[in-house]
Structure 1
Amino acid sequence: MAIYKDNIYVINSNGKIFSINSLNGNQNWSFETGSDTAKSYNAFKLAVANDKLIFSNDFGIITCIDLAKQSIIWNLTMEPSSVYSDNNLFEIASPVIVNNNLFLVSSYGKFQKLDLDTAKIYWSINDSSSLTPLINNEIIATANHEGFFSIYNKNSGKVLYKKYN
């Protein structure tokens, strides 16, 4: 769920997104993400910033909508990395938007920094998580359910610290 410019954006367990006016409770619009059978409720996440709505579905597709034009700007399909190729259940952390950068990390073994407007990938690292990364100044930290904790340089993706607990 996210609030942006007097609107609340929510995605349900079937992958349908709703825009609700936070002032009067009226539904502005809804959008089907393309999923009809939820494999994992952790596949449906969204984030809003800079007049763009980012969301994911259980097929591993990340979509960016221009809220002003109410049109799709781009789609990106997250593919399992070779390290995590046996993981067929897609789960994703909540997307994180900082300035015009989008950070995505998923159970498919990819941690990526993208341009919010174009989906151009600035860097991609083999890291798997469905926990939302934390960002502070020039660092970004991730953890996963297997006990790995990692810190990266936000701009380059360079590993600064990695530990298994």
Structure 2
Amino acid sequence: MTDRSNTPEARRPDRAALVIAVVLAIIAAVIVYSTATAHGGSTTRIGPGAFPYAISACLFALAIWTGFEAWRGDFPEREEQEFGPVFWIVSGLAAQMLLLNTVGFSIATGILFAATARGFGKGPLWMTVPIGIVLSFVVWVIFAKGLQLSLPAGPLEHLI
């Protein structure tokens, strides 16, 4: 096995991590700008307006740290991305968003559950869809009936 730690290839900057560092810095700057230009709020020195500044300071520190580590090339080598699982999860989320108001929380979230399970390589859809619907219905009952929160109701939820 060869040691590549001293070769120029091993010390090249990680471009993807540098992009992430720049995005973190931009998000921090947007938070600072948005907080500084917001009207209203409290006149006290430490109040609700202090938290966005603290969050942006942490994001900016993470951006510097990420940029430094990326420049040194210290990030571990990433595995090859598999697009199949990502497709299942994203399509399940899209299905939930599209179906939420028509079929209700339980069925739409059950479909999301099944698609996510499929993306992680678990169970056939004929088994995970009903399991997801039952679990989602239990969550709906807890939130809608127990906590009196408003969640979209469909035909299954109207049975109660």
TM-score in terms of structure 1 length: 0.22
Between Structure 1 and Structure 2, whose CA radius of gyration is higher?
2
Structure in which a larger fraction of residues adopt helix: 2
TM-score in terms of structure 2 length: 0.22
Q: Which has the higher contact order (CA 8 A, sep 6+)?
A: 2
Structure in which a larger fraction of residues adopt strand: 1
